[in-house]
Amino acid sequence: MDVLSDVVAVTRTGRPRSAYVRWHAPWGQEFSSVPGSAGFQVVLDGSCWLLAAGAAPVRLGTGDVVFLPHGRGHVLADSPETPLATPACGPDDAKRYDAYASDNVDRSGEGGPVTVLLCGSYRLDPSRAHPLLLSLPDVIHLPAHPGRRAELDAAVKLLAAELEAPNLGTDAAVPALLDTLLLYILRIWFDEQPLHGDHTTGWAAALNDPPVTAALHAVHHDLAAPWTVAKLAAEAGLSRAPFAKRFARLVGQPPLAYLTWWRMTTAARLLRTSDAPLRSVAAQVGYTSEFAFAHAFKRAHGTPPGTYRRKA
């Protein structure tokens, strides 16, 4: 996999959930903070206001996307002055994530203008939190720009159609479309970061730096390869010392430290989600010796891989 696909596949867990909601003005809804989750709101029709603590109100129009990668609480309303309803999507709702994947809701009001929203949320495993996701701000606003993000708009339309009029196969289509939507949101955010200022460090810079991105893709594409700093430098098209310095500055870890961390993160997922023998797991993450793998895993996770699997 490439780095972004790999990060989403390893970090997300459970079934994502979503809803197609029509709001009739006046309306105001508070969405409680849900740690260990990420959520989005898309305005399909009409307009509303986004209110978040510590930030100025933001008016959202048709086609605007709001992504909350850390499950931050927020408010949506037809007006900043509208009284709020009982908080929705609070921590207790996390228990219901696996109960259903989609919903279609009509919030009747007093016959005022209608705003149609597409909303959704994902469960994230905090034990596998990737620094790429941790580096994101609490609120990401992607204003509508016709023609500039055709893939995201297409995913939104497909998901909205499935939720508005469920049909045969909807239960299979919705989770796949939600994953696709998440990838497109993250892709656009990282692609457009240089437009927002001078980002010289961090994952936004790393994913827009061709040499570092080449090395990251090499690691994520073939985790079991016997990577060394020299081999990764060759993938990046740089000599060893400049590459190591550049990688550490942008990613926040030296190349081999990141490689080991990602191997152990991937190994933990394999131990939880498969019954592959330990020697097979070790080989998949680049260890020819089961003993060396067990030693590295215990150092990273504080417990031997066999014990970790039994507890999981």
| Domain edges within the chain | 3-196, 209-311
Report pLDDT for 88: 62
- Prediction pTM value: 0.82
pLDDT at 101: 44
d(CA 273, CA 262): 16
Q: How many other CB atoms are found less than 10 A from the CB of residue 76?
A: 25
Per-residue pLDDT of the chain (312 residues; tens, 9 = 90+): 688 888 888 777 777 888 899 999 989 999 888 888 899 999 999 999 999 988 899 999 999 999 999 999 999 999 999 988 766 654 444 444 333 345 566 665 667 889 999 998 888 877 778 888 888 999 999 999 877 688 999 999 999 999 988 899 988 899 899 989 999 999 998 888 764 555 566 888 888 899 999 999 999 999 999 999 999 999 999 999 999 999 999 999 999 999 999 999 999 989 988 999 999 999 999 999 999 999 999 999 999 999 999 987
Instruction: Give pLDDT, residue 277.
Output: 96
**Which of 3.40.720.10, 1.10.10.60, 1.10.569.10, 3.40.640.10 would CATH assign to domain 209-311?**
1.10.10.60
Token digits for 175? Answer: 């989770």
Determine the Cα–Cα distance for residues 66 and 139; give it in Å rounded to an integer.
7
CATH number of 3-196: 2.60.120.280
Same CATH fold, 209-311 and 3-196?
Answer: no
Beta bridge partners of 134: none
